[in-house]
Structures are given as C-alpha cells and as structure tokens.
Structure 1
C-alpha cells in the first residue's frame, strides 16, 4: 500500500483527534460544590473554582500537590463541620499556584464551636485552619477568612510566596472563653515571603516569624491581638530568622506592638530586622518589647544569650500605650547593632526592669 503526503497528513490528524479528549480533560476548568468530587477535580482540572461548599467534619479541603500553574478561585462560602481534631481545614501546595477570591468569597471556620478560651493550650482539640506548605513561586490574593478555631495561616517550607489583600476576622472570639492562639500568619523555614495589605482582627500574634529569611510584611492592619512578632525563636529544628522587614503597618487595640521574643536557654539567631512606619494605638501591655527570656505564657525574667539579636532597625515607630501598659521593654543578654530613629511611644509607664539595652536603642 502506497502512502501519499495527503494520506499521511490525514492519519496524523486522526491520531491527534483521538488524543485530544485526554489532553483537554487535563486542561479543564471545573467548579467544586460537592466535597465528594474533590479528588476528581484535583486530578483533572487546572482551574478549580470553589463555589458554596460544605467540608465534612474531620476532613481537609485538600488541594496539595497541584499541577504546576493550577488556578484556585474561591467563589462562594466554604464551611467546615465540627470535630475535635488537629486539622488543617484547608491545605494547598504546589508550584506557580494562583489562589484568588472572587467578590464576596468567605472561608468560615466556625470557630465558636471550638472556642473555650484555651486555644491550643488545652480544652478541646482545635484544628489549624490553612496550611500553605511547600507553595513555591505562588500567590494567594483576596480571600476572606472568618472565625478560625485556632491559628490561621501556617506558612512552612515555602519559597517566593506572596499573600496579598487577605482579611482575617475573628472578632466574634472577643468574648469570655472565646478565641485564643488565633495567630494570623505563622511563618517557619520559608524564604521570600511577602504578606501585603493584610487586615487582621484576632486574639494572638498578627504575624509570628519562627524561622526563615527574606520576609516582608507591609501595609497591614492588626487589631485585637498580640502584635507583629519575631518569634518565639528557639526550641525548634530551625531557629534562624534573617532579613525581615515590617513596614507601613497599624497595630491597634492589641497587647503588644513591635515584639521580638527568643526562648530562654535555647539556641538560634535573629538578624537584619527592620520595623519602619509603624503606628501604634491603644496598646495595653508593651508598645515595643524585646525579650530573651521567653517561655510560653511565663517569661523567666532572666535573659539568655543563645539566640542573639543583631541588626535591629526601628524607624518611625510611633504611637500610644494605655496608662496601665509599658512604653518600651528591653531585656537582653546578647543584643547588638541596634539603630532606632523616630521612635516615639508614649502614654504608658517607663520600665524599671530593662536590661542589656544595646547602644542605639532606648528603654
């Protein structure tokens, strides 16, 4: 049998048609409104729109190991059933993943079902909310989160991740036996993290960096929590924080404003940290607090030098502390190369317990 160029072309075209459905399936855009379809959607769709969705109790909205370039769009209200477990309620991982929220989107953690005033220190076992683990060269933009049972974002082993214009509203937890340990962003073992325009109402750290390098938090609004924190640093497998910038951020109605805490008798390091353009309002405990004696809930009062703090710049950090609070508290055993300019924190008490205050700082 002889084949002409025309016949060969026809055969190739027919073969391509046979192959096309599988290829198209991998590129499909899908909407997820039933949790039972999650695995199918993950395996066959590279644009995943999540509409109104009820996640069953004890289950994770598991969007891990997504294909490179996958888009996830939250386009409705996501709710989560109640169960005492560690979670997470949402988990996303992959490379070049784009997560966005459409207008009116909401991830409602239903935190009131778990809240008992004890957070992760006892009482009910409470699920963490959102794991952004192993997200590489990815973005999370414009999602709205409400009432997390405990900590919200856990950012770990991620690189070049940008989180922009995210809101976290846990104001319903501002009651007796309410929300506790509701950290907004916990960062560990990650590099190149940018958190911009976050709006946070919670009952713990707005930001807590436990380890990592090249981390930026900018244009934030933090209300009701424990401030914008480095640490606690020490006692983990990774205890190095380097190259952090916190800028143009308001911290209001919170226990602390600017905060650095290293763990008593631990090892590690904190270096090259800058807070600039920080506005403090109605801070109830410490406007600025730097302590090297941290133990969960009960600092020792005796600083240790195993986690030195060096290269700390405070520039234009200004605002008010309540009369029962303390403007600035520094307790150091190994602090060096501090540069403070335009620092003005007033309204509270002047500490009589500062120790080891390095040249360039004041207390």
Structure 2
C-alpha cells in the first residue's frame, strides 16, 4: 500500500510493498526532483516514518492510494524528469506552496484524483482506471484493462491516446468529452490493440468543437485543423467500436488503417451543425471534408447499423479486403464509396459489400472512383439494396478521372475495375444531377453487371461509356 502526504516543506510519497519493505520518495525544493530517502523493513500497518517538514501529527493529512497507483508510483515516480518541478521554486527562496501544488499535480496526474481519508487504516481507495482528468489517461492505459473516461475536457493539441491498450481492454466514455481549440493538425483519439472494445454510455457525447475550426475548406486550406477525429490503427483480433455518439468533428471522423477483425456498429456521427455557413466559409457550408468512415489497408472488418450526417463520404474504402458495410443511414454525404483509389501506398480494394442502406440529400449514391493517372486494383465489389434520394450529382457513379480538385473528364486506365455487381438501387436525383454516370478508361473496366436499378429525376442526361451486363440501360445513353 502507499500514502501520499503533501508536506509544508517537502512532498512525501510513502510506499509499502507486500514484502514489508518501504520506500519514501521526497520531492525537495532544493533539488526540484524526487529522491528515494530509504528502504527498511517495517510492520505492514506501520505509519511511523519521518516526514521532513511535515510537522507532528502527519497521518491525519495522508491520502491512501489504490494498489494500481501504488505499483505505478513505486516503479516510475523516482524517474521523473527534474524539469517537472523547476518552475515551482527559486534557488534562493523556494516557493514551497507552488512546489506542493506542482508536485501534487504530478502525483494526481499519474494516479487519478485521490480522496482524503482520516488515516492510512481507511479502506477507501482511488480507482486509477476511472479517469476524470485528461492527465490521468497514461497511467490508466498502462495499468488497466477496464477504463472509464468520464467528462473529460481535452486540452488543445492533445490526444486521448489509446493506441497501446492491453489485450482485452474495454474503454467506456461517460458524460461529455470536449476538445479545446488549438491551431494544429493532430488526432483527437488514437486507438490500437488486440481484442479491445471502445464504447460509451447511452447518454455520453463526444463533442469535437468543430465550430472552432470550420471555415468551409476542410482539409483543402484555410485554418490548420485536426484532420482526423479518431485514428484506429493496428487493431487486431476480435475488437469492436460501438454505441458512440460523436458531434461537431472538425474534418474527417474515423480513419481506420492496418487493422483486421474489427466490428464497428451503432455509431452516430452528427455534423449537422456544419451545414450552415459561418463568418469564415464565404456562404458555403461551414463543415467540409467531413468523411464519416475512411478505411484503408484493413481486412475482415464490418461497419454497420450506424448513422452519418455529414458533408463528405459516408463510408469510403480506399484499400483493403473483405469489408462489409451494412444498414447505414447517410444524410448530406457524398455517398457510399470505393475510393478514391490510386496514388497511395496501398491501392488494392477487393471483396467489399455495401448493403441494405439509405443515402439521402447527398452528392452521390453508390460510387466507385479512381484517381487520374494512377495505378491500382478494384475487384469483387457489391452494392445491393440501396435507397438513394435527392442526389445532386450522380445516383450511380463509376469514374476513372477523379482528382480532389475536380474530375478531369479524361479517364485513365491504370486502375483495373472488374467484377462489379450493383443490384436493387432505387431512388431520385435532383434537376442538377445525373441518374447514372460511368466513365471508364480504355480497357480498364470489365465484368460490371447492373440489375434492377431505377433512379429518376436527374435533370442532366445520363452518360455511360462502358456497356454493362444485366438489365441496366443507362437511360438509353450508352456511348
């Protein structure tokens, strides 16, 4: 067990190990760093140890720390960088009040807030796995396999780093998590590990404070912005991310890479506040490039049963194998997308299914896009049972002239597109849009079959330069 004592002249941590030896670490205003004072064998319940500068009745002001906190402190506290406390004292006139406050913050940041108890014999403990302050996250992830993050305010340019979770860890968000502004590009959350679970309580909200960054340009310029809300990388085994509500994320939300065996479900991404212009967006929607789920170099993964209200791709797969996207509700997006493919480190997309989903008030419905003058491979793609409504550009879109700044109109054939099936896709386009658009490079598209597709209302003439199999007729505009 261990106790923490904030002394008047020194800050003392008393650690008593199971082998009945103890270590006292003193934070000295003369050195500005922790010093191990002694080891000695004592009775396990003893509190008779010297407290320099602490005065007589020291035990009444002690705080009993949890076993996890104890273990962490024992192994790491004496290794603290001496610079941590330099600001708390002056070489000639130590500011002991600042020292105590500073050293206290170091301890509490490492182990979570401890509750004062009358004496060391109390059974009250602090749960280092229940995190209420941002600074306590590293200690929790290092020691715990069940972590609660409750009501955190995350400082600007700071990341909730869950990238090295222990195998089997569950992380639960509670209350409102809020990110403060910083003029920087960084991830709000990073996740990594095997057989892990990331979830949230039913009333929890993750608020990205996107209004502080939105300027109508997204990642294409303007203010420097956090490009990804949550980066999931190297997540393996039987892992899941589920039942999380996220609002007002600055640019892209989920960036999923180098992962396998991941089940993402019952997620709500609500960027509806970004539809309205603001004083920086020149009349455009304030939020831009607000992709919901971007997947790359990821295998054997499911994204399902989720809601995305945003201003860019609902789900986009740029590389990977064996991915299912099912039962999605997408509003205001750029649709359900393969791509853009080409020009990246991995440009192979195989065995991807988009099924049983709704795409409303979007630029595109079902979409496959490859970048101009690049190479890659797209094969075995299924779009099935998709309802699209109020589509402003293309109801169905296969194009090989894509550039982020806008399509070139001249398709290239470096990306192979083959074995594509589209079935039972129905709905409407707007008078500004086209029902269908297919623009393949020479010889790069093959075995595309489209059946039972019926999209109406597009005011611009459909255009398809590749003759597909099935009963699809491109509104009579195969060219």
Fold conserved between structures, TM > 0.5: yes
Q: Secondary structure at the match of 1:197?
A: strand
Q: 2:314 matched to which residue of 1?
A: 206
Q: For residues 290-329 of structure 1, what are the structure 2 equivalents within 5 Å?
A: 290-329=398-437
Query: Offset of 1:31 from its aligned partner?
Result: 1.1
Counterpart pick for 1:79 among 178, 185, 204: 178
Query: Offset of 1:24 from its aligned partner?
Result: 11
Q: Is the 8 A contact 1:335 1:358 kept in 2?
A: no
Q: 1:7 matched to which residue of 2?
A: none
Counterpart pick for 1:122 among 206, 221, 224: 221
Q: 1:336 matched to which residue of 2?
A: 446
Farther off after superposition, 130-139 or 145-154 = 130-139
Q: 1:53 matched to which residue of 2?
A: 152
CA distance in structure 2 between the partners assigned to 1:95 and 1:263 by the alignment: 33
Q: 2:267 matched to which residue of 1?
A: 166
The structure having more radius of gyration, on CA atoms, is 2
CA distance in structure 2 between the partners assigned to 1:235 and 1:156 by the alignment: 16
Note if 1:69 corresponds to 2:168.
Answer: yes
Q: Is the 8 A contact 1:142 1:165 kept in 2?
A: yes
The two structures have a TM-score, normalised by structure 2, of 0.70
CA distance in structure 1 between the partners assigned to 2:250 and 2:179 by the alignment: 11
Query: Offset of 1:94 from its aligned partner?
Result: 0.2
Structure 1 residues 22 and 37: alpha-carbon distance in aligned structure 2, compared to 1, 3 A threshold: closer
Farther off after superposition, 340-349 or 229-238 = 340-349
RMSD over aligned CA atoms reads 1.9
Q: Is the 8 A contact 1:332 1:357 kept in 2?
A: no
Q: 1:8 matched to which residue of 2?
A: none
Query: Offset of 1:297 from its aligned partner?
Result: 2.5
CA distance in structure 2 between the partners assigned to 1:77 and 1:232 by the alignment: 34
Note if 1:134 corresponds to 2:227.
Answer: no
Which protein has greater RCO, CA pairs closer than 8 Å, 6+ apart?
A: 1
CA distance in structure 2 between the partners assigned to 1:29 and 1:142 by the alignment: 24
Structure 1 residues 308 and 103: alpha-carbon distance in aligned structure 2, compared to 1, 3 A threshold: same
Q: 2:250 matched to which residue of 1?
A: 149
Q: 1:273 matched to which residue of 2?
A: 381
Query: Offset of 1:351 from its aligned partner?
Result: 3.1
Structure 1 residues 303 and 76: alpha-carbon distance in aligned structure 2, compared to 1, 3 A threshold: same
Query: Offset of 1:130 from its aligned partner?
Result: 0.3
CA distance in structure 2 between the partners assigned to 1:22 and 1:109 by the alignment: 31
Q: 1:110 matched to which residue of 2?
A: 209
Farther off after superposition, 334-343 or 264-273 = 334-343
CA distance in structure 1 between the partners assigned to 2:71 and 2:330 by the alignment: 43
CA distance in structure 1 between the partners assigned to 2:335 and 2:405 by the alignment: 15
Q: Secondary structure at the match of 1:342?
A: strand
Query: Offset of 1:90 from its aligned partner?
Result: 0.6
The two structures have a TM-score, normalised by structure 1, of 0.91
CA distance in structure 2 between the partners assigned to 1:24 and 1:312 by the alignment: 58
CA distance in structure 2 between the partners assigned to 1:147 and 1:362 by the alignment: 41
Q: Secondary structure at the match of 1:324?
A: coil
Query: Offset of 1:22 from its aligned partner?
Result: 6.7
Note if 1:187 corresponds to 2:281.
Answer: no
Note if 1:34 corresponds to 2:133.
Answer: yes
CA distance in structure 2 between the partners assigned to 1:232 and 1:362 by the alignment: 25
Q: Secondary structure at the match of 1:204?
A: coil
CA distance in structure 2 between the partners assigned to 1:105 and 1:170 by the alignment: 16
Query: Offset of 1:236 from its aligned partner?
Result: 0.4
Q: Is the 8 A contact 1:228 1:259 kept in 2?
A: yes
CA distance in structure 2 between the partners assigned to 1:79 and 1:23 by the alignment: 26
Aligned residues: 346
Structure 1 residues 325 and 49: alpha-carbon distance in aligned structure 2, compared to 1, 3 A threshold: same
Note if 1:358 corresponds to 2:358.
Answer: no
